[in-house]
Chains A and B, each alone.
Chain A
């Protein structure tokens, strides 16, 4: 009898733990065939799918997905034929984001001072402080990083070689040895970058001194 109670309690605790899994992101936009694997269960990702820690997104040919992390600080666009594992956890009130790109291409925009944002590939680790960048990983793990804005740090897993890739630069690494940094050529990023909409902010103050601001996104 006692054993049964213990098993049931453990099961209940397990279920509660499962239920307490917190969402860490959401798919803003999904086009085509994108699968979402959650605890080894595969489903089709849709607009507004909830993402939890360790979820895997895989985009097929002519498909893409846009993911936003729960703190609103970072957006990732996953291009066709790519695999992304979402890792994020709340620590000290801040969401630490550590995702893994096994294969494919992604674009990301990260807001500064909003918690750690790290992307791992089979061969490298990319640390972002506040920037826009594109990351490409091939089947052999070769990683190409293109920095569109800000500075991104690229570090080899095997030998800890690292490089700070500045705006307008790209870096190529096979995971060991030298990281080759060069300039992004004209047109190389065509179709990858997503510009922020222009934001018009109007500050208002009434006769009581109360302040309000209105933000308008311009098309």
Chain B
């Protein structure tokens, strides 16, 4: 049974769908060059479990990702969203993935497997043929300061005689602002008052008399902020957020509140750049790991120095996706780079003793020392070497919090990792081949220190372990004592981009004893082969994706059984124009534990679970309603999760969602109406009679967004009604939110949201509950 349980845990961890969190993401097919994009990640289940969502994004071909945090929605609109202006400057495909942080401290990614190698992709539409007839008159950098209100003036003098003046459209930051423009016979003007600090793009579209569509170039202008002028060029942002939640259930009442303050400040002076970030949270407590974050970094030619919190990357197995509080240095020249990090991965946290019983163990302070040397450059050939040393500081924690009454609850660890990597880039980085290898030493308990020379002779070591105690503690708690192939990790990858086809192939092999405390998401004893292909056809109108992931454990044949899993996904999205799209997804996964019960064994069973999901989506923009063009969407999905080996369960789910998003032309109002129907059929195959439980889920959602004061004040209201019925307890939930955002000045922004959630269970009134929540944010750029 224990074996089955452990295998199930392994299998479930490789499934792409989270057990308690259900995601939905409408991946945009493409964006027009020069336009920013709105990205949303919807949580159909488990929204309340989410702490934050971070998006990592880059332009295809770049080696590193940028990251930004998404803005949360509400219970009735369980989405995290962000507008990425950075995409407006991309000339090639955009790549991104999400990192989901839950309140219990776990971090998941979407896509779930190797997201940095297989991110989501958005094609950037090449510019249509630009027409020389549009001439930009203003802004003119020679005469207009970048801090002034922005006046856009475009001459159509050269084509005025052939132009259909009624077809002229001016787009500013992706929005049609024609109705606020002045159109003359020979030119059009548009004045942006209180233009936001940052980069802005704009262009003109029109038709000639013969119906030919033409476009201007994409122009971009940066607006700088004036103010008290320091000898430094500085900018920054300060924001204060707070939230309050109160839940009432039966006679119980629980409230939760939090506030945080974020200050980022950066500047430059000649060859010196600096960047600082301060994050303070009311959730900071000495009885848990740090929530507050501090960072101060300086950059001069060839040297970057950071003090505070940073998550550097040195090879996937040495130091990756882990925050280190300390000092980070990066010395770099054309073909040489040296990186060094010294700090703490964890701080010491005291445990808790109650009634002479250790109810919670403490945490040792865990230090990190990492060094990496690179020769070459990522554009051609690069080779790197490095090591990471992670060690718990025994003296940082009182003995009672780890060795209470002579009983060890936790043990201090020591970990040393050596790694090397090589990378070849060919055909202007269209073909990238690389390999990373690493070897680790791991000691699970260093309380007693290194074994003595006398003890070591029994074990046949050619050196005195005590002499190397500062480098690595050698004793019987080393896992394994004699390092071998089980301590090795390897990753090889190929990335090829040719004629619109992006192919990613990777092979990962991590030994059962490989440990790296300074790497996040590391899965031991696993072998993964991953193939992903992304193809764009018909001028980026059709996107085809195919992926195959094969994984297995028992890499070093140390177990009796080998568990395997296979995950296949295919997607076809066709978007012939901006008005409609068709999307078809097929995901299939299967997991087996490889267990073969003996002939006489009638209790143990092998496990084989298969999961299949088919998803069909259609969207269409109905323009015939002149004053209220409406975007209709229909989404249908069918999923089956079944145990084929032991035949213990079969869960089937059918989901249908209809949506209608209306943008009123005469009013600054946008509405969204959606209906979702789900039919669940959960069958317990172990029970002969009444083994199928059917349930239905209905959800209605309505939202209205209004704009006042030229879009500076944006109130909204939304309402959601959920109902569960069928062969389960009949339940209902109603959620309503009211909120608004207000641009007090072009740099000062305030938003506030309040909501109420009511839940009723017809079978048990004690489960009825209500939740009141409120959140507010003030943000100022300078």
Which among A20, A70, A207 is the interface contact of B157 at CB below 8 angstroms?
Answer: A70
> Would you call A187 an interface residue if the criterion is a C-beta within 8 Å of the partner chain's C-beta atoms?
no
Do the beta carbons of A75 and B143 come within 8 Å of each other? yes
| Complexed CA–CA distance, A212 and B151 (Å) | 26
Q: Which residues of B contact A70 (CB under 8 A)?
A: 137, 155, 157, 186-187
Q: Which residues of B contact A23 (CB under 8 A)?
A: 184-187
Interface string of A66-82 (1 = CB under 8 A from B): 10101110010100000
| Complexed CA–CA distance, A214 and B201 (Å) | 13
Q: Name which residue of chain A comes closest to B161, CB basis.
A: A93
Interface string of A7-26 (1 = CB under 8 A from B): 00000000000001011101
| Complexed CA–CA distance, A62 and B74 (Å) | 56
> Would you call A206 an interface residue if the criterion is a C-beta within 8 Å of the partner chain's C-beta atoms?
yes
> Would you call A28 an interface residue if the criterion is a C-beta within 8 Å of the partner chain's C-beta atoms?
yes
Do the beta carbons of A212 and B127 come within 8 Å of each other? yes
| Complexed CA–CA distance, A30 and B187 (Å) | 19
Q: How far apart are B121's CB and chain A's nearest CB, in angstroms?
A: 16
Cβ < 8 Å to B, chain A residues 50-75: 50, 66, 68, 70-72, 75
| Complexed CA–CA distance, A212 and B92 (Å) | 12
| Complexed CA–CA distance, A210 and B130 (Å) | 13
Q: Name which residue of chain B comes closest to A47, CB basis.
A: B151
Q: Which residues of A contact B141 (CB under 8 A)?
A: 197, 217, 219
Which of A77, A197, A207 has the largest number of chain B CB atoms within 10 A? Answer: A207
> Would you call B740 an interface residue if the criterion is a C-beta within 8 Å of the partner chain's C-beta atoms?
no
| Complexed CA–CA distance, A207 and B186 (Å) | 38
Interface string of B121-158 (1 = CB under 8 A from A): 00000110000000111111111101011010101011
> Would you call B499 an interface residue if the criterion is a C-beta within 8 Å of the partner chain's C-beta atoms?
yes
| Complexed CA–CA distance, A197 and B145 (Å) | 12
- Given A47-B151, A71-B157, A204-B91, are A194 and B142 neighbors across the interface (CB < 8 Å)? yes
Interface range, A side? 20 to 34
Cβ < 8 Å to B, chain A residues 179-206: 194-197, 204, 206
Q: How far apart are B91's CB and chain A's nearest CB, in angstroms?
A: 7
Q: Name which residue of chain A comes closest to B500, CB basis.
A: A207
Which of B91, B137, B498, B499 has the largest number of chain A CB atoms within 10 A? Answer: B137
| Complexed CA–CA distance, A48 and B144 (Å) | 12
Do the beta carbons of A197 and B186 come within 8 Å of each other? no
- Given A70-B157, A93-B158, are A26 and B185 neighbors across the interface (CB < 8 Å)? no
Q: Which residues of A contact B712 (CB under 8 A)?
A: none
Q: Which residues of A contact B139 (CB under 8 A)?
A: 28
Do the beta carbons of A197 and B142 come within 8 Å of each other? yes
> Would you call A95 an interface residue if the criterion is a C-beta within 8 Å of the partner chain's C-beta atoms?
yes
Do the beta carbons of A26 and B138 come within 8 Å of each other? yes
Q: Which residues of B contact A71 (CB under 8 A)?
A: 135, 155, 157-158
> Would you call B191 an interface residue if the criterion is a C-beta within 8 Å of the partner chain's C-beta atoms?
yes
- Given A93-B158, A210-B126, are A68 and B185 neighbors across the interface (CB < 8 Å)? no
Q: Which residues of B contact A207 (CB under 8 A)?
A: 498-500
Q: Which residues of B contact A219 (CB under 8 A)?
A: 141, 146
- Given A48-B191, A70-B157, are A75 and B186 neighbors across the interface (CB < 8 Å)? no
| Complexed CA–CA distance, A217 and B142 (Å) | 10
Do the beta carbons of B158 and A195 come within 8 Å of each other? no
Which among B126, B184, B498 is the interface contact of A50 at CB below 8 angstroms?
Answer: B184
The number of A-B residue pairs with CB atoms under 8 Å apart is 84
- Given A23-B185, A24-B186, A29-B144, are A68 and B138 neighbors across the interface (CB < 8 Å)? yes
> Would you call B615 an interface residue if the criterion is a C-beta within 8 Å of the partner chain's C-beta atoms?
no
| Complexed CA–CA distance, A22 and B144 (Å) | 25
Which of B139, B146, B148, B187 has the largest number of chain A CB atoms within 10 A? Answer: B187
Q: Which residues of A contact B135 (CB under 8 A)?
A: 71-72
Q: How far apart are B204's CB and chain A's nearest CB, in angstroms?
A: 14
Q: Which residues of A contact B143 (CB under 8 A)?
A: 28-29, 66, 75, 77, 194
Which among B126, B144, B149 is the interface contact of A206 at CB below 8 angstroms?
Answer: B126
| Complexed CA–CA distance, A210 and B126 (Å) | 9
Q: Name which residue of chain B comes closest to A218, CB basis.
A: B141
Do the beta carbons of A22 and B185 come within 8 Å of each other? yes
| Complexed CA–CA distance, A204 and B149 (Å) | 32
Do the beta carbons of B186 and A28 come within 8 Å of each other? no
Q: How far apart are A5's CB and chain B's nearest CB, in angstroms?
A: 29
Q: Which residues of B contact A217 (CB under 8 A)?
A: 141
Q: How far apart are A34's CB and chain B's nearest CB, in angstroms?
A: 14
Which among B142, B186, B500 is the interface contact of A22 at CB below 8 angstroms?
Answer: B186
Do the beta carbons of B499 and A75 come within 8 Å of each other? no
> Would you call A42 an interface residue if the criterion is a C-beta within 8 Å of the partner chain's C-beta atoms?
no
Do the beta carbons of A68 and B158 come within 8 Å of each other? no
Which among A26, A194, A210 is the interface contact of B137 at CB below 8 angstroms?
Answer: A26
> Would you call B189 an interface residue if the criterion is a C-beta within 8 Å of the partner chain's C-beta atoms?
yes
| Complexed CA–CA distance, A214 and B130 (Å) | 12
| Complexed CA–CA distance, A71 and B159 (Å) | 11
Do the beta carbons of B151 and A48 come within 8 Å of each other? yes
Q: Name which residue of chain B comes closest to A48, CB basis.
A: B151
Q: Which residues of B contact A72 (CB under 8 A)?
A: 135-137, 155, 157
Cβ < 8 Å to A, chain B residues 103-132: 126-127
> Would you call A38 an interface residue if the criterion is a C-beta within 8 Å of the partner chain's C-beta atoms?
no
Q: How far apart are A76's CB and chain B's nearest CB, in angstroms?
A: 11
Q: Name which residue of chain A comes closest to B146, CB basis.
A: A219
> Would you call A90 an interface residue if the criterion is a C-beta within 8 Å of the partner chain's C-beta atoms?
yes
Do the beta carbons of B142 and A195 come within 8 Å of each other? yes
Q: Which residues of B contact A48 (CB under 8 A)?
A: 138, 151, 153, 189, 191
Q: How far apart are A197's CB and chain B's nearest CB, in angstroms?
A: 4
Q: Name which residue of chain A comes closest to B145, CB basis.
A: A29
Q: Which residues of B contact A66 (CB under 8 A)?
A: 140, 143
Which among B138, B157, B498, B499 is the interface contact of A28 at CB below 8 angstroms?
Answer: B138
| Complexed CA–CA distance, A193 and B137 (Å) | 20
Q: Which residues of A contact B149 (CB under 8 A)?
A: 47
Interface string of B499-519 (1 = CB under 8 A from A): 110000000000000000000
Cβ < 8 Å to B, chain A residues 112-169: none
Cβ < 8 Å to A, chain B residues 73-100: 91
Q: Which residues of A contact B500 (CB under 8 A)?
A: 207
Q: How far apart are B743's CB and chain A's nearest CB, in angstroms?
A: 22
- Given A72-B137, A72-B155, A204-B91, are A26 and B187 neighbors across the interface (CB < 8 Å)? yes
| Complexed CA–CA distance, A210 and B125 (Å) | 13
Q: Name which residue of chain B comes closest to A50, CB basis.
A: B184
Q: How far apart are B154's CB and chain A's nearest CB, in angstroms?
A: 9
| Complexed CA–CA distance, A214 and B151 (Å) | 22
Interface string of B145-178 (1 = CB under 8 A from A): 0101101010101101000000000000000000
Q: Which residues of B contact A206 (CB under 8 A)?
A: 126
| Complexed CA–CA distance, A48 and B155 (Å) | 12
Q: Name which residue of chain A comes closest to B185, CB basis.
A: A22
Do the beta carbons of B137 and A28 come within 8 Å of each other? yes
Q: Name which residue of chain A comes closest to B89, CB basis.
A: A214
Q: Which residues of A contact B498 (CB under 8 A)?
A: 207
- Given A48-B151, A212-B127, are A28 and B187 neighbors across the interface (CB < 8 Å)? no
| Complexed CA–CA distance, A206 and B143 (Å) | 35
- Given A71-B158, A207-B499, are A28 and B91 neighbors across the interface (CB < 8 Å)? no
Do the beta carbons of B155 and A28 come within 8 Å of each other? no
Q: How far apart are A95's CB and chain B's nearest CB, in angstroms?
A: 7
Q: Which residues of A contact B138 (CB under 8 A)?
A: 26, 28, 48, 68
Q: Which residues of B contact A197 (CB under 8 A)?
A: 141-142
19 more contacts with CB within 8 A, not counting A22-B185, A68-B137, A95-B157, are A22-B160, A23-B185, A26-B138, A28-B137, A28-B143, A28-B153, A47-B151, A48-B138, A50-B184, A66-B140, A70-B186, A71-B157, A72-B135, A72-B136, A194-B142, A204-B91, A207-B498, A210-B126, A212-B91
Could you write out 27 A-B pairs with CB less than 8 Å apart?
A22-B184, A22-B185, A23-B186, A26-B138, A28-B140, A28-B151, A29-B144, A47-B191, A48-B138, A48-B153, A50-B182, A50-B184, A50-B189, A66-B143, A68-B137, A71-B135, A71-B155, A75-B143, A90-B157, A93-B158, A207-B500, A210-B126, A212-B91, A212-B126, A212-B127, A217-B141, A219-B146
10 A-B pairs with the lowest CB-CB distances in the bound complex, closest first: A72-B135, A197-B141, A70-B157, A22-B185, A217-B141, A66-B143, A48-B151, A23-B184, A70-B186, A23-B186
